[in-house]
Every structure is written in C-alpha cells, then in structure tokens.
A and B are shown apart, each in its own frame.
Chain A
Amino acid sequence: MCGIIGVIDRTMSRMDGSSIKEALSLMDERGSGEGAGYVAYGIYPDYADCYAIHVFFDNLLEPKTRVDEILKQWGRIVHQEEIPTYEQPGLKKEHISWRYFFKPYTDLMIGTTDPDDDNVKHLVMHVNANIEGALIFSSGKNLGVFKAAGWPEDVANYFRIEDYKGYIWLAHNRYPTNTSGWWGGAHPFNLLDWSVVHNGEITSYGTNRRYVEGHGYQCTMLTDTEVVAYLFDLLGRRHGLPSEMVVEALAPPFWDEIDKMPPKEEEFMRTMRLTYGPALMNGPFAIVVATKDGIVGFTDRIKLRPLIVGENGSKLYLSSEEAAIRTMDPEVEKIYMPRAGEPVIGRVTE
C-alpha cells in the first residue's frame, strides 16, 4: 500500500501546503497512521544558499551538543532554531525537530569536484551512523522535509505545512510492512537536493544497498527507500547522469527489448545495464523523486504499483490515485497512466 502524491509548478510559482494535505488525507485508506510526510522546495528563500539541515533530536543535551560541534568543525551555522510544531491530539511527539542553516567550509573536502555537497553528504552519513539520539532527515538547499509517525492530516497540522510555500511538493502516507512505523522511517527520504517518496517494496534492496555502501553511503534508516535517494545522488550527482538516464539505470528495458533496438541504442542500453546492474531495482514500486530542477516519477518494470499523471498548465501531478490529484486540482485537464518503467518528468522552465 502507501499513497504518494507530488506536484511541480514548472514556472516555479509557489503553492502553500494546504491542498496537498487534503489530497494526501484522501488516501488515508492507503496508510495505517504510522507515518506521513511532506517535502517542499523553495520554502527558505532567505537562506537559499545555505544547506537546510533538519534533525530529529531525542533531547537537546548530548546529541545536540555533538551535532553542533561537528557542524562547527565542518562549516558555519548561519542560523538555527527549533522547527515550530503544534500539538495534535492524535500524534505523540517523539522527537524535537530542529533546523540549521549551514554553510560548509569548501576547502575541507579535497579531491572532489563537488566539495560542498560531498561535505554535507559526509556529515549526514556520519551523524546518522554515529550520534545516538540525532537523525538528519533533510539536508538540501532551500527545501525541507516534514515527517512523523501519524496520519497525514495530523502530521500536516503538527508542522502546520500550510505555512510553507514551495514550487515542488511531494507527500507520502505510509502503511509500513517491512519495518516498524517510526519517525525516521516515514517518507520522504532526502539527501542533499534529492527527495524520494515510494509506494512498494524493493526486493533488490540487499543488492542496491551493498552497491551504494561500496560507494561511501551508509544505510541507517532501516528501510528500503533511503537507498533510492542514495542511488540518485550517486548516479545523478556524482556520475552526472541526467534524470532520464538514472531512471533507465534503475528500471531498464528488458533484454528482449534491448536486443530489438537499433545497434547504437542497443549498445547504449547494454553498456548501461552492465555498468549499473547492481543499481537496477526490482520489486513492486512507484517512486517520485524530486530535485531542485524538477520531479521524476516511474514504476517498476512490470508496473506492480499504480502511478497516475495529471497536467494543468504549468502544473504536473503524480500520484497513486486520480482522486487525490482531482482533490488537489479539480480543474486538472489531462490524466493518464505512464507505461511500466517509463519516466514522467516535470522540469522547471527557467
């Protein structure tokens, strides 16, 4: 199960979180009250060039002191504050949500073409693997993840997400089946600019996890989805593949189809599959990934999970259910279903 919905306004005009809250709540049938979350891009214009680091703290004593220390060692904390939350009768507060606006010291990460991102990636991995009582769950620029163990409306009200305005929103309602419902396990999963919502299970998780671990990522969230964020970071950012190609690596055509392609394309796909075999994802899934320039949605190669696309002018919607899209935008014009494995991409048009 699980319900997902995402929207991008390609002109980058910003929408508040009220309608996505409503759309996600419509899919309560797809959840179990054990996890829901939202991510919005463009919400921190005042700190647009800082990394917005969202952390769950068990308490503000030891874990926070240790996170402060390590952040100060690797860069400058431009601003920090508790993320405002509003008590909800149906939601038990388990962590303190905190945010830092952070600028890494570029010269601390040598031997990489992307020192700031690599620095922050390293910090996320380090904190999540080593500092007990602290979990960084959002680390991109000008974006923020808000998630907790609860029903969609409770989580939305808890963070009052209608107070945030973004040009991309993703949201997720969780029905956990492979790990328990806990705050860190709720979606979206994020690393740097990549955020992922996912409906399904990744049966290739063991292989995918091993692959990203061999390239310096540590999987600490106890669930299969985080690996998708790391695969996008590895292939998309570090190897420089455009989103379509990342999707082709993760959900490639079958060999039978590849064999029938014209020689140049055949060579391309074969090379791709051989190079990125361990990144290939198996199992039933529908996934939407966002980055600051757009969103991409895709399903597994035999489409064992639903994904619906809706379009209205500059807006592109992706969801598990048409009704959710219509709730968000009753005027939506074009509704269709992509083929298995086919990426649907919405890019900002600046």
Chain B
Amino acid sequence: MSLGSVPLKYKISIDRDQCMKCMRCVDNCSYGVYRIEDDRIIIDSRKCTACHRCISMCPRDAIMLKERPVDYRSHPLWTVEAREDVINQARTGKIILAGMGNAVDYPIIFDRLVLDACQVTNPSIDPLREPMELRTYIGKKPSKLEFTKNNGDIELTTKLTPNLKLDTPIMVGHMSYGAISLPAQLSIAKAVAKTGTFMGTGEGGMHEAIYPYQDHSIVQIASGRFGVDIDYLERGAAIEIKVGQGAKPGIGGHLPGEKVCADVSCTRMIPLGSDAISPAPHHDIYSIEDLAQLVRSLKEATDWEKPVFVKIAAVHNVAAIAAGIARSDADAVVIDGFKGGTGAAPKVFRDNVGIPIEAAIAAVDQKLNDQGIRNEVSIIASGGIRNSGDLAKSIALGADAIYIGTAALIALGCRVCGNCYRGLCPWGIATQKPELVERIDPEVGAQNVANLIHGWTLELSELMGAAGLNSIESLRGNRERLRGYMLDQGLLDVLKVESVGA
C-alpha cells in the first residue's frame, strides 16, 4: 500500500511584477527548485530546503519563502515532525539522517544566565583607554613555580611545556575537508591566521592548500585515522584525539562516497568515491590507560613539542571522564555539547543524546578544581555557542577557550538549512561539487570569518571591562560574575551559580 507523500515544508513564490527574469534563482538553486519552461520560471517548492541562496541572490527581492502552515490535525503529542518521521521510516526502514545541530526546543541555559556589570563602588574599565588582556595559553601548566635562590638571584627551574598562544579565546572547531569544501576550509585557515588563533582540520587530513597556515592548525585524529601519518602530525601546531562529538555521542562518523572526490580521497588517503566511515570506538582505546598511552605515543612521535588535546562529547559523567583525561598527559580537554553542529548524524542521536555544554563546562571545571588540578589543564568548550555573550558565559563557567563551528559557517553564508549531508550545499560549504565549491572566494570568506572573530573579541573586551576585569584569567571560572535567571535549584547547584538577586 502506498503511504503517499508528506506535505511540502516550504512554499516559494515569485512576485512576477518584480521579477526581471535574470534567471539567477535558476542558476543558484542546487536543489532544483526552479526550472525554465517556455520562458517562464516554474517552481517546485517541494525541493526547497530554505537555504536562502535564491533569495539572497535575487536582484529584485522578488522571491518569497514561507514555512508551510500545519495542515495536519493539530495534536500536542503527535507533532507534524513526529508523524512525518514515522511515515518516512515506514516507507524506507532506515535511520533518519539530519545535518547541523540539535533541532529540539530544549531550553537554552545560556539564555538563562546573565552577566554582571560594575556600578559606583567598582569602576568599569574602558577597553578603549585601558589595556584589556584576552591572550590565552592552551596547554599544561605547572602546579607551582619551582626556583632556586642564589644570593638573592632567583633562577627558574620550572620549564613550561609547549602551549598554544591565542590572541583571543575563540578558535574554529574541527570541520574536515570532505565534510566542507576546500575554499571553506581555506577561508577559515586564513581567518584564524589573521586573528591570531587556531582552527581544527577535522579528521580528514590536511590538504596542501592549508600548509601555509599549518602553524594555526590543530590536526585531528579520529577513529578512522584518515590522513594520519607522521608528516600530518608534524604539521599541526597541536594534535587532537577525537573520541566523541556533541551532535552524536557514542557513534562514529560517516562521509558519504559522493563527497569523496579525487582531492578528498588523496587528502584522506582513501579510495576515490568510497564511504569514509569512522567507527564509534578507536580500536586501540578501550580504557583510560589506552587513551593515556595514545596521548604519550603522539607526544613521543612529535618529540614532546606539541600539545595533545582530547575531545569528548558532553555526556552525563563528563566530569569524571575529563578528570581522567586531565591526569593523562593530555594538555586540554575539549568538551562538545549536545547543541553542536554536524554534517550528518542520525536524527535520533542529534536530538536526544548528550547534555548541554553549559552544565558540562561547569561540572568539569568544578571536578578538576576539587582535585586541585584545574589550572594544570585547559578546557575548550564547543557546541552551540552563538555569540559573544555565550562566549563570556562559557569562560565564566570555567572554559579557557571555545571552538565555534556553525557560527563560522554562517559567516561563510550557511543559513542552517540542515541539508549538509546531501552534498548539495548551495553556498559551496558542505559540498564537493566544483560548480558549487567555486561560489566561495577564500579571500572574502576569510575576511568574513575574521570579522566575526574580531567583533566577538571586541564585545568580550567590553563585557569584561563592564565587569571590572582587564584580564581573561580573572573571568575564567568566575561564577560571581554570573547569575541564573529562572533556573531550578538543581541546575544552579551544578552550574555553581547563584540566582538573580542573590
């Protein structure tokens, strides 16, 4: 029996009086919404993903896009999405895939935390006139200073292990070549070099085009070990072992064969057109001891010259896991929250597994502090950080720095349409199709991403100045500068934040 089709999601229409028939919409839409028949533009709204490419390219503002009104019987439990997912699965018997971040309407904790500002007794600091220090070092720190005294002269015996020096606590997280296009990755690489910070290469190896920016790159090792050889390790300014990802904790990665073009296959060191599947576990890590060994092996391979990070997804016992990682030789723990983006994930994982980054940072920070080792290891937070307010709050909850992902892609054009896994991204980001890829000019893209980082950096300085702080060290873990608004006591206790008015 046929189940028929589900209703379309978006409705596109063209204001024919405005339209000048330039055909840019036809050329720009990679999903095939528009076609020409007898000199007339015909619209197939069913194919639309709301990527907004056509709208932003139309010189006449002639295109209108509407989310289609619900035309099912309304029901509080059986939402449209729930019904359509059942219909689609009844038809295919498959796992439902989804791109970008968690799309469930969970409350956003960031929006229920408010920052503090000085008044009267405690002057605000004006970042335009006073120095404001955002410089952040990521890596292991000594627990105490060791030195010797020779007739009044102090000789340091403590030697620092290598740290990454960031001019601003904003980095761009790991998005591999393969998942995103080369110009997208190149834009990000140029942007981080411009702004004195770092980007992650993702698990796809490092393309030659990124070599000039390798000093600003963190190379990643995922369970698939794609693109990993000694040359790759040596190119990175730091190395990151990816255990888990916020959008899909507990499962591996999957790059569909269609995205594996010649260049990707070469960079990843896999056959052309083959699916690149990273298994859920690393097959050499089944315990914290195994992880510690891998950390040490990577350090040994690179002469102990590079910091090694370990990335895990935010899950409920994240604090205990992070404490274990901190006690290995790892230099930083990366925690990716359940609002993190992704190219493709089973929808059921993306929307249901993991915990919010806000709670994860606070819990990890507290656990490490209780053990007296918080300052000895860095915490990098990611997963759903949308603006400089979220950034400041992440640091006040205990992060040293953050990774942005989706925000950087939005700076390159992404409109969060959630169709990345189809490889047809009309903005040239999540695709390898040459005609789409060329839509990104890496110079322009780099400027956009750099502008974003710069803008957030300025805002962070202002927020710190308002709170009477002139160095980022004093914002880190400073819960005094945060208050919870309409949060329950249980969560306030985990965040270690007092309520507004307290």
Known: A270-B160, A302-B470. A278 touches B121 (CB 8 A): no
Whether A182 sits at the interface, judged by CB under 8 Å, is no
User: Which one of B139-147, B187-195, B424-432 contacts A?
Assistant: B139-147
Whether B158 sits at the interface, judged by CB under 8 Å, is yes
Question: Are A277 and B476 neighbours in the complex by a CB distance under 8 Å?
Answer: yes
Shortest Cβ gap from B475 to chain A (Å): 7
Whether B59 sits at the interface, judged by CB under 8 Å, is no
User: Which one of A114-122, A145-153, A184-192, A204-212 contacts B?
Assistant: A204-212
**A residues less than 8 Å from B470 (CB atoms):** 282, 301-302
Question: Are B141 and A275 neighbours in the complex by a CB distance under 8 Å?
Answer: yes
Question: Are B474 and A204 neighbours in the complex by a CB distance under 8 Å?
Answer: yes
Whether A311 sits at the interface, judged by CB under 8 Å, is no
Known: A206-B479, A302-B125. A280 touches B145 (CB 8 A): no
Shortest Cβ gap from B494 to chain A (Å): 15
Question: Are B480 and A206 neighbours in the complex by a CB distance under 8 Å?
Answer: yes
Which residues of B339-375 have CB atoms within 8 Å of chain A's CB atoms?
Answer: 369-375
Name the contact of B473 in the complex, choosing from A178, A207, A242 (C-beta under 8 A).
A207
Question: Are B145 and A206 neighbours in the complex by a CB distance under 8 Å?
Answer: no
Name the contact of B476 in the complex, choosing from A207, A215, A267 (C-beta under 8 A).
A207
**B residues less than 8 Å from A177 (CB atoms):** 120-122
**A residues less than 8 Å from B120 (CB atoms):** 177
Question: Are A255 and B133 neighbours in the complex by a CB distance under 8 Å?
Answer: yes
Name the contact of B133 in the complex, choosing from A178, A214, A254, A284 (C-beta under 8 A).
A254
Known: A206-B478, A211-B375. A283 touches B158 (CB 8 A): no
Question: Are B145 and A239 neighbours in the complex by a CB distance under 8 Å?
Answer: yes
* Residues 357-399 of chain B, each 1 if its beta carbon lies under 8 Å from chain A, else 0: 0000000000001111111000000000000000000001000
**B residues less than 8 Å from A80 (CB atoms):** none
* Residues 265-284 of chain A, each 1 if its beta carbon lies under 8 Å from chain B, else 0: 00110111111111011111
Name the contact of A206 in the complex, choosing from B121, B144, B481 (C-beta under 8 A).
B481
Question: Are A214 and B372 neighbours in the complex by a CB distance under 8 Å?
Answer: yes
Interface residues on A, range: 35 or more
Task: Identify the closest chain A residue to B366 (Cβ).
Answer: A210
Whether B131 sits at the interface, judged by CB under 8 Å, is yes
* Residues 188-207 of chain A, each 1 if its beta carbon lies under 8 Å from chain B, else 0: 00000000000011011111
Whether A68 sits at the interface, judged by CB under 8 Å, is no
Question: Are B156 and A271 neighbours in the complex by a CB distance under 8 Å?
Answer: yes
| Bound complex: CA A1 to CA B121 (Å) | 8
Which residues of B36-79 have CB atoms within 8 Å of chain A's CB atoms?
Answer: none
Question: Are A275 and B468 neighbours in the complex by a CB distance under 8 Å?
Answer: no
Question: Are A207 and B478 neighbours in the complex by a CB distance under 8 Å?
Answer: yes
| Bound complex: CA A284 to CA B475 (Å) | 15
Question: Are B480 and A205 neighbours in the complex by a CB distance under 8 Å?
Answer: yes
Shortest Cβ gap from A228 to chain B (Å): 14
Whether B137 sits at the interface, judged by CB under 8 Å, is yes
Question: Are A283 and B476 neighbours in the complex by a CB distance under 8 Å?
Answer: no
Known: A211-B375, A214-B374. A272 touches B473 (CB 8 A): no
Whether B123 sits at the interface, judged by CB under 8 Å, is yes
Task: Identify the closest chain A residue to B469 (Cβ).
Answer: A282
Whether A256 sits at the interface, judged by CB under 8 Å, is yes
- Looking at chain B's contact residues, is the secondary structure mostly helix, strand, loop, or mixed? loop
**A residues less than 8 Å from B467 (CB atoms):** 203
| Bound complex: CA A213 to CA B467 (Å) | 22
Whether B30 sits at the interface, judged by CB under 8 Å, is no
Which residues of B76-108 have CB atoms within 8 Å of chain A's CB atoms?
Answer: none
Question: Are B145 and A213 neighbours in the complex by a CB distance under 8 Å?
Answer: no
| Bound complex: CA A314 to CA B20 (Å) | 91
Task: Identify the closest chain B residue to A258 (Cβ).
Answer: B135
Task: Identify the closest chain A residue to B368 (Cβ).
Answer: A214
The tally of residues in B whose CB lies under 8 Å from a CB in A reads: 43
Which residues of B8-29 have CB atoms within 8 Å of chain A's CB atoms?
Answer: none
| Bound complex: CA A307 to CA B117 (Å) | 25
**B residues less than 8 Å from A206 (CB atoms):** 396, 477-481
**A residues less than 8 Å from B468 (CB atoms):** 201, 203, 282-284
Name the contact of A210 in the complex, choosing from B371, B469, B477 (C-beta under 8 A).
B477
**B residues less than 8 Å from A302 (CB atoms):** 125, 130-131, 470
Whether B302 sits at the interface, judged by CB under 8 Å, is no
**A residues less than 8 Å from B486 (CB atoms):** none
| Bound complex: CA A1 to CA B120 (Å) | 10
| Bound complex: CA A277 to CA B139 (Å) | 13
Shortest Cβ gap from A339 to chain B (Å): 15
Known: A210-B477, A284-B122. A278 touches B375 (CB 8 A): yes
* Residues 459-489 of chain B, each 1 if its beta carbon lies under 8 Å from chain A, else 0: 0000000011111011111111100000000
Whether B320 sits at the interface, judged by CB under 8 Å, is no
Question: Are A274 and B160 neighbours in the complex by a CB distance under 8 Å?
Answer: yes
Whether A131 sits at the interface, judged by CB under 8 Å, is no
Shortest Cβ gap from A341 to chain B (Å): 11
Which residues of B113-160 have CB atoms within 8 Å of chain A's CB atoms?
Answer: 118, 120-123, 125, 130-131, 133, 135, 137, 141-145, 154, 156, 158, 160
| Bound complex: CA A118 to CA B11 (Å) | 73
Question: Are A278 and B135 neighbours in the complex by a CB distance under 8 Å?
Answer: no
Whether A332 sits at the interface, judged by CB under 8 Å, is no
Name the contact of B469 in the complex, choosing from A204, A216, A267 (C-beta under 8 A).
A204
Whether A245 sits at the interface, judged by CB under 8 Å, is yes
**A residues less than 8 Å from B481 (CB atoms):** 203, 206
Whether A91 sits at the interface, judged by CB under 8 Å, is no
**A residues less than 8 Å from B371 (CB atoms):** 214
Known: A207-B473, A284-B122, A302-B125. A275 touches B145 (CB 8 A): yes
Task: Identify the closest chain B residue to A276 (Cβ).
Answer: B145
Known: A204-B478, A277-B473, A282-B471. A241 touches B156 (CB 8 A): no
Shortest Cβ gap from A315 to chain B (Å): 24
Shortest Cβ gap from B138 to chain A (Å): 11
**A residues less than 8 Å from B156 (CB atoms):** 267-268, 271
Whether A78 sits at the interface, judged by CB under 8 Å, is no
Shortest Cβ gap from A243 to chain B (Å): 13
Question: Are A304 and B123 neighbours in the complex by a CB distance under 8 Å?
Answer: yes
| Bound complex: CA A206 to CA B481 (Å) | 7
**B residues less than 8 Å from A268 (CB atoms):** 154, 156
Question: Are B475 and A207 neighbours in the complex by a CB distance under 8 Å?
Answer: yes
| Bound complex: CA A223 to CA B468 (Å) | 17
**B residues less than 8 Å from A205 (CB atoms):** 478, 480
Whether B223 sits at the interface, judged by CB under 8 Å, is no
Question: Are A201 and B122 neighbours in the complex by a CB distance under 8 Å?
Answer: yes
Name the contact of A271 in the complex, choosing from B118, B158, B474, B477 (C-beta under 8 A).
B158
Shortest Cβ gap from B366 to chain A (Å): 8
| Bound complex: CA A214 to CA B468 (Å) | 24
Question: Are A272 and B145 neighbours in the complex by a CB distance under 8 Å?
Answer: yes
Further pairs besides A207-B476, A271-B145: 9, Cβ < 8 Å:
A177-B120, A201-B122, A203-B118, A203-B122, A205-B478, A275-B158, A280-B473, A282-B469, A302-B125
Q: Which residues of A contact B (CB under 8 A)?
A: 1, 177-178, 200-201, 203-207, 209-211, 213-216, 239, 241-242, 245, 254-256, 267-268, 270-278, 280-284, 301-302, 304
Q: Which 3 A-B pairs have the closest CB atoms?
A: A206-B480, A204-B474, A206-B478
Listed A/B pairs (16) with beta-carbon separation below 8 Å? A201-B122, A203-B468, A204-B469, A204-B474, A205-B480, A206-B478, A209-B480, A214-B374, A255-B135, A267-B156, A271-B158, A275-B143, A275-B145, A278-B375, A278-B476, A282-B469
